[in-house]
Amino acid sequence: MENKKVLLGMSGGVDSSVSALLLKNEGYEVIGTTLELFVGSSCCNVNTYIDAKNVCNSIGIPHFTFDYKNEFKKYVIDDFINCYANCKTPNPCIECNKYMKFGIMYEKAKELSCNYIATGHYAKTEYSEKYGRWVLKKSKAGKKDQSYVLWNIPKALIEHVLFPLSDFESKDEIRAIARKSNLKVANKPDSEDICFVPDGNYKKFLETNSDIKPKEGNIVNSKGEILGKHTGLYNYTIGQRKGLGISYHVPLFVLGFNKEKNEVIVGEEAELYKKEVIVTDINLLLVDEIKDEMEVEVKTRYSSKVAKAKIIQDGINIKVTFEEPQRAITPGQSAVFYVGDIVLGGGKII
């Protein structure tokens, strides 16, 4: 008999709450869990625990909280700080998914004799006859699809992951189900910020929680000419135009950094476009390795559209050659490769 026991990660929001309801209605034995990750974060504070527990009580499933604050600091916060210290722009959700939700939470699920874990992400898993394996796919949610932030989950886990919201096209449908079922979180607003920086001020977070402090240096163009002063490399992102404090005859944008010289490099918008990029820290989900050049679609940011490209693997790296040059490709962000709706894999932009 199939083991239909599932551990569901719950943030106290409407997505994970409706996921609990849907799974129960589909005959799964659901256990809700909220991971304690960071004191005062937007997704694991006293209110989120209470909301998640109340939802579980209302639909008749157990709920547990587990303390993983030390692990979260090690795998997510320390990586976040290290990226900024090295002039990279991280996406902490990707690390959290890899190590916490689809790493540590799966280990906890096995301890509790669960065959599955589930989350309220908008993504899809299914068995592909064509590829002879379980695959991660885009959901039907369009712009709200979250497959981009899931490229780094362990490949072997895909067949043990359930995404109950995979076939819904909008958040309105989810809220309607919650209202119909009298879930008190039906109208709870979405959390958009980095969970451990709930006020959105990541610069203040870095200054408070690390050795990163304001350090003035030069703003230079690609020829090395000094155009102004900056207040610390971590205060700038590639593609940034506002807040440079430079008066120039054409608009200037941040192109990159020289950490050794403590310089912010700026230039005209045309200089922001790149046709090639190298990606490392690869995780391939659809194939075990890329033996020949492949045509794929690539997303280089969560909010960006896919772009056509060719990829070729060179040892531990993948070289991406875009059909059309792409704007403001940013080291530290993820490049995620798609074959149709299926996530081929991804890696970190160098």
Contacts by 200-205, CB closer than 8 A, 24 or more apart = 202/84, 203/234, 203/235
**Mean predicted confidence (pLDDT) in 134-160:** 96
Domain boundary residue, one of 136, 155, 180: 180
The whole-number pLDDT of residue 337 equals 98
Domain span at residue 88 reads 5-180
Residue 200 lies in a domain: no
Question: SS3 string of 214-260?
Answer: CCCEEEEECCCCEEEEECCHHHCCCCCCCCCCCCCCCCCEEEEEECC
Residue 84 lies in a domain: yes
Whether 166 and 308 map to the same domain: the answer is no
- pLDDT band for 320, please (50, 70, 90 cuts): very high
Is pLDDT of 276 > 80?
Answer: yes
Is residue 317 within 8 A of residue 279, CB to CB? The reply is: yes
The whole-number pLDDT of residue 1 equals 64
pTM of the model: 0.95
**Mean predicted confidence (pLDDT) in 49-72:** 96
User: Among this protein's residues, is 96 annotated catalytic?
Assistant: yes
Whether 231 and 293 map to the same domain: the answer is no
The whole-number pLDDT of residue 39 equals 81
The whole-number pLDDT of residue 191 equals 75
Say how far apart CA 123 and CA 45 lie, in whole Å. Answer: 25
Whether 16 and 151 map to the same domain: the answer is yes
Whether 125 and 103 map to the same domain: the answer is yes
- pLDDT band for 335, please (50, 70, 90 cuts): very high
- pLDDT band for 218, please (50, 70, 90 cuts): very high
The whole-number pLDDT of residue 268 equals 97
Whether 244 and 293 map to the same domain: the answer is no
Residue 56 lies in a domain: yes
Is pLDDT of 313 > 70?
Answer: yes
Residue 37 lies in a domain: yes
Residue 47 lies in a domain: yes
Domain boundary residue, one of 267, 294, 312: 267
User: Among this protein's residues, is 93 annotated catalytic?
Assistant: no
CATH of the domain at 232: 2.30.30.280
Residue 133 lies in a domain: yes
Among candidate residues 43, 83, 114, 195, the one labeled active-site is 195
The whole-number pLDDT of residue 162 equals 98
Whether 224 and 242 map to the same domain: the answer is yes
Q: Which of 81-85, 188-192, 208-212, 251-255 has the lowest mean pLDDT?
A: 188-192
Is residue 247 within 8 A of residue 266, CB to CB? The reply is: no
Residue 43 lies in a domain: yes
Whether 258 and 331 map to the same domain: the answer is no
**Mean predicted confidence (pLDDT) in 110-135:** 97
Say how far apart CA 231 and CA 110 lie, in whole Å. Answer: 48
- pLDDT band for 40, please (50, 70, 90 cuts): confident
Beta-bridge partners for 126:
135
Residue 190 lies in a domain: no
Whether 172 and 25 map to the same domain: the answer is yes
Give the chain's domain count: 3
Whether 54 and 155 map to the same domain: the answer is yes
**Mean predicted confidence (pLDDT) in 60-71:** 97
CATH of the domain at 97: 3.40.50.620
CATH of the domain at 324: 2.40.30.10
Distance from chain centroid for Cα 298: 15
**Mean predicted confidence (pLDDT) in 175-188:** 94
Q: What percent of the chain has pLDDT over 90?
A: 92
**Buried b / exposed e along 98-117 (16+ C-beta atoms within 10 A):** bbbbbbbbbebbeeeebbbb
Among candidate residues 43, 44, 96, 114, the one labeled active-site is 96
Q: Which amino acid is at 246?
A: I
Strands 263-267 and 253-258: antiparallel
Whether 238 and 136 map to the same domain: the answer is no
- Closest by CA to 17, choosing from 206, 248, 180, is 180
**Mean predicted confidence (pLDDT) in 61-65:** 97
Domain boundary residue, one of 267, 290, 311: 267
Whether 15 and 118 map to the same domain: the answer is yes
Whether 223 and 342 map to the same domain: the answer is no
